[in-house]
Structure formats: C-alpha cells, structure tokens
Chain A
Amino acid sequence: MLPRFWRKIKYRYNLIGTKCENCGTYYYPPRNFCTKCRRKSKIVEVKFSGRGEVVSYSVVHEVPENMKEQKPYVIALVKLEEGPMITAQLVCRPEEVRVGMKVKAAFRKCGEEGESGIIYYCTKFVPE
C-alpha cells in the first residue's frame, strides 16, 4: 500500500486532477485519457478550487474496522465547481448534511497502517 499511496499523494493532498484541453472536460480522479476525445485527448493537470456541492450522501453506521472511532461518519458525492464528482468524507455532524450543501476541501488524515505504520492524509470536505 505504501507505494500505491505515495504515487497519488499530489492528487490526494491537493485535489489535482486533469483536464482535456480538446473538449474542456475536467477529471477527478485524474485520467490521462479523455473518455470523450479518446485519441484526440489533450490532457493537462489542473488544481481544483476545492469548492463543491453535496449531490448525495450517507451517514455510515456499519463502518470499516479502522474507522470505528469516527462512527457514524458522513460520506458524500461532491460535485466540484469545475464539474467532476468525487466520493469523499464530509467532516460535519450527521444532522447538518443536506443535498445541495456547499462544501470546501479540508486536509485530514484518512487512515494509518496501525500505530507503527504510515499515516495517510487526504482531502475531505467541510461545510462552507
């Protein structure tokens, strides 16, 4: 998992995705191939503003073992203002979340390999 995480650090920490300059479509997670333009793809990296809107959400009660301390937590489909949608945790009280809620990116821990392993950091969202 270590190299797998490290490889994507840039994209996870900073919401860096890609854009096809041929058709203007934004991608997050980043793609190096535009699904619309295919061989005509002209992919460049872009940094997203980090602002978005909740499209759907769930308050998760049956949580993975390593997230027990966060139970219940909120997961959401967040539509970034540039267009792409992302699945991410929302840091807020379960009773606060609404479809259409404006959110912004926050830098948080999203796991660790036990007490002696590496710590994973990522982007979550908080109410704006």
Chain B
Amino acid sequence: MRKVAVIGVGQSKFGELWDYSFRDIVLSAGIEAIEDAGLEGREIEAMYVGNMSGGRFLAQEHIAALIADYSGLAELHIPCTRVEGADASGGLALRQAYLAVASGLHDIVIAAGAEKVTDVGEKAVEILSSGVDREWEVFNGATLASLFAMMARMHMEKYGTRAEDLAMVSVKNHKNATKNPKAQFRREISIDVVMNSPYVAEPLRMFDCAPVSDGAAVVILASEEVAKNYTDTPIYISSSAQACDYIALSSRRDPTTMDAIVFAAREAYKKAGVEAKDIDVAEVHDSYTIAEIMAYEDLGFVEKGRGAELIREGVTELDGDIPVNPSGGLKACGHAAGATGIRQAVEIVLQLRGDAKERQVDAETGLTLNIGGTGATAVVTVFRRD
C-alpha cells in the first residue's frame, strides 16, 4: 500500500443555506479544495461522494454523476461513485478514496460529502432516522434521538454520568464554533441554557442534539510522490479503518458501548502504529452529546464508564490535553449527514497543517470518527504530519 496524502481541503458553510441549492453547495466546497490544492482540474482521476439520502431529501439519486457534471468533471469521463452509510457516508467516501490511492489504482482522487436537507422542511428529522432499523425500531415508535437517549440513560445508571456532563459537551462545542467561520452556531452557551432547553427525548434536551444541516466538504487525496508536486504541507492519512455492528440498538452486546467504534479504532491505531494516547486532536461524531462521551471511551481516550471525567476536567477543551471537536463538532459546526465525515477530515487537516487560525491546537497526530445511525457503522481515520 502506498502512502496517501491530503493535498487540498474545502468546505461550504454549514447551516440552513436557503439561498443555495445542492449543486451550489457542493461546488463551493469543491472549488475551495481545488484552489487549496493548486490543481488545474484535469489531474483528477476519480471521485467518491458521501451522500446519505439524496433520494429522500431531494428525490435525486445518481448523486455522483450529478456532482461530477456540475463540478466540470463530466468532460473527463472519470469514475464517480456515491458511497452510503447513513451519516457515516462521508467517512466511507474518504476511505474509498484513500483505498483507491493507496492501492495504486489512482494518483489523485476526490473525496466529497454533501447533503441538502432543508428543502424537505420538518421531514428531515424523520429521513435521518432511516439510518437505524426502520422495521423494528422506527416502526415501533423509536426516534433517532430516543435511541441515543436510551444509551444515555443506561450510561447514567451504570456509570454515574450526569445530565450536566452531557451539557458540558454542548457548551464546549458551541464555544469552539465561535472560532470557526464555517460553523452553523457561532455563539457561546451556558450549562443553564442547555439544562433549561426543552426535552427532545429524555434525558436528552434540545441542546444535546446536533442540528440537521445543509453542507458540503471536499478533500483531495494524492499519492505521496504526486503530493510533493502540489504542496509543501501534505497531511498523511496513516490509516483508515471501518467496522460494523448490529443495526438495531436492541441487538447489541451492550448499548453503552459502540463496538463498531472499538473495533475500528483498534484497527486504525494498529495500522497507523499509534496508540490512543498519541492522538493530539480529534473530530468525533457528536450527533448527540452522549455520543461524544461514549466516543471518548470507545476510542480508548479513557476507560469505559469514565468518559464524563474528560469533559469535567477540561481534557477535551481547546486548551486541554486532547482537544475534541475544535471545529465545534456536529453540535455547533453543524451536521450535514453525508458531508460530516469529510468535514471532520477538513478540520483535522487544517489543524495538522497549522491553518486552523483562532482555534489552532498543537498537534502532530489527529483522528476523525464518523458513525452511521446509532453506531452500526464507524469509520476511524488517523492523520499525521509525517
């Protein structure tokens, strides 16, 4: 396998982008990435697109061809493929692009992620729940939030995690987002604001839940050799690992652990030759605040059951030992389903390059964790400066 570098990154603003169509959003992220890489465009050999539900959000399938067309790649007649794994779609697209370069099949490959959710209005939340078991969870009355709420309840009962701990995750991520011009929510909130927000699914409140956002993100990957022609600051993907789990929460070994994360992380660390303690910065999938606490544990940052200690002690703050979600995370930067996994990669690349400006942390090794639904798919990617 060849070494793979990220040579360009781009991201649209995340949020309710009423003025922009799906095509507009993708294009804005794509142009930014191509300019960042200093590519002319014709060098691109393939594209993978993460998109969760063009079919239901836009009644548009064949997303990869559509994006290729509107980003001027149709003329090149290169292979463009949509990858889907609910809200882990972006992470999966990144992994496919990585494999295409690492294997030697292609030298320069685009990994994109895009979702336009606001055109369907209120229905968006329901569509997002298609990432869990429709027949035996949603049909029986479960909402996506309620499934995470049941994980939260069990975590609280079993390990003593408190509602305030969850609130602190939201507060931290909102604070980080104030330093991110692309973020959806750029204002600080207090624990009181979270704790007084209305319940969505007890014990989770409105401020425990990530928004449903429009957004797109693009990263351009190249082989180590080719990367040198384009950038002085390549960021390398040291490893990419993916794991699955039972689709329904009720079928899992332990609803307070996302085994897909545990397995993907273990594999990613092994392949990258690092350990959890070597991770300097991470973007994790905080679709709900409890998911960030569980991610701390399942990624091995802390032992099982003690995730809340990291947030209580400020370990994952921007100035802590392992800053988590410097971008603001899904909670405050925004959660554009299929775009999220790529957006996380954009953030880690900026951090490792030293281009993260106000929210810059000191890091050599970074990690992204993107999950689908309640964790039936997890993708862990490790990035390094060398």
Contacts of B199 in A (CB 8 A): 59, 61, 72
Interchain pairs with CB closer than 8 A, number? 95
Contacts of B154 in A (CB 8 A): 55-56, 77
Partner among A29, A55, A60 whose Cβ is within 8 Å of the Cβ of B146 = A60
Expressed in whole angstroms, the minimum distance between the Cβ of A90 and any Cβ of chain B is: 9
Stretch with Cβ within 8 A of A (4 or more), from B48-56, B60-68, B131-139: B131-139
Is there contact, CB below 8 Å, between B250 and A58? Answer: no
Q: Is A101 an interface residue (CB 8 A)?
A: no
Contacts of B151 in A (CB 8 A): 56
Contact A59/B126 with A87-B140, A87-B249 known, Cβ cut-off 8 Å: no
Is there contact, CB below 8 Å, between A65 and B150? Answer: no
Q: Is A105 an interface residue (CB 8 A)?
A: no
Q: Is B125 an interface residue (CB 8 A)?
A: yes
Is there contact, CB below 8 Å, between B141 and A57? Answer: no
Expressed in whole angstroms, the minimum distance between the Cβ of A121 and any Cβ of chain B is: 12
Q: Is A86 an interface residue (CB 8 A)?
A: yes
Bound complex: CA A72 to CA B255 (Å): 23
Bound complex: CA A79 to CA B145 (Å): 20
Q: Is B143 an interface residue (CB 8 A)?
A: yes
Q: Is B149 an interface residue (CB 8 A)?
A: yes
Q: Is A64 an interface residue (CB 8 A)?
A: yes
Q: Is B319 an interface residue (CB 8 A)?
A: no
Bound complex: CA A67 to CA B129 (Å): 15
Is there contact, CB below 8 Å, between B250 and A85? Answer: yes
Is there contact, CB below 8 Å, between B126 and A76? Answer: no
Partner among A58, A64, A120 whose Cβ is within 8 Å of the Cβ of B202 = A58
Give the nearest-CB partner of A100 in chain B.
Answer: B157
Q: Is A8 an interface residue (CB 8 A)?
A: yes
Contacts of B262 in A (CB 8 A): none
Is there contact, CB below 8 Å, between A62 and B141? Answer: no
Q: Is A92 an interface residue (CB 8 A)?
A: no
Expressed in whole angstroms, the minimum distance between the Cβ of A32 and any Cβ of chain B is: 15
Bound complex: CA A62 to CA B126 (Å): 11
Give the nearest-CB partner of A4 in chain B.
Answer: B135
Contacts of A67 in B (CB 8 A): 141
Over the window 56-100 of chain A, the binary record of Cβ atoms lying under 8 Å from chain B Cβ atoms (1 yes, 0 no) is: 111111111101000011011100000011111100001000010
Bound complex: CA A35 to CA B308 (Å): 33
Partner among B145, B150, B204, B251 whose Cβ is within 8 Å of the Cβ of A57 = B150
Contacts of A60 in B (CB 8 A): 141, 143, 145-146, 149, 201-202
Contacts of A87 in B (CB 8 A): 136-137, 140-142, 147, 248-250
Is there contact, CB below 8 Å, between A85 and B251? Answer: yes
Give the nearest-CB partner of B134 in chain A.
Answer: A4
Contacts of A88 in B (CB 8 A): 140-141
Q: Is B38 an interface residue (CB 8 A)?
A: no
For the complex of A and B, 9 pairs with smallest distance between CB atoms: A58-B149, A56-B150, A89-B141, A85-B250, A59-B202, A58-B146, A58-B201, A62-B200, A61-B199
Further 6 A-B residue pairs, CB within 8 A, beyond A56-B157, A63-B143: A58-B149, A75-B142, A76-B150, A87-B147, A88-B140, A110-B141
User: A-contacting residues of B (Cβ < 8 Å)?
Assistant: 122, 125-126, 135-137, 139-143, 145-147, 149-151, 153-154, 157, 198-204, 248-251, 255
Between-chain CB contacts (< 8 Å), 19 pairs: A8-B135, A56-B150, A56-B151, A57-B153, A58-B146, A58-B201, A60-B145, A60-B146, A60-B202, A61-B201, A62-B200, A62-B201, A65-B122, A72-B199, A77-B250, A84-B250, A89-B141, A110-B141, A122-B140
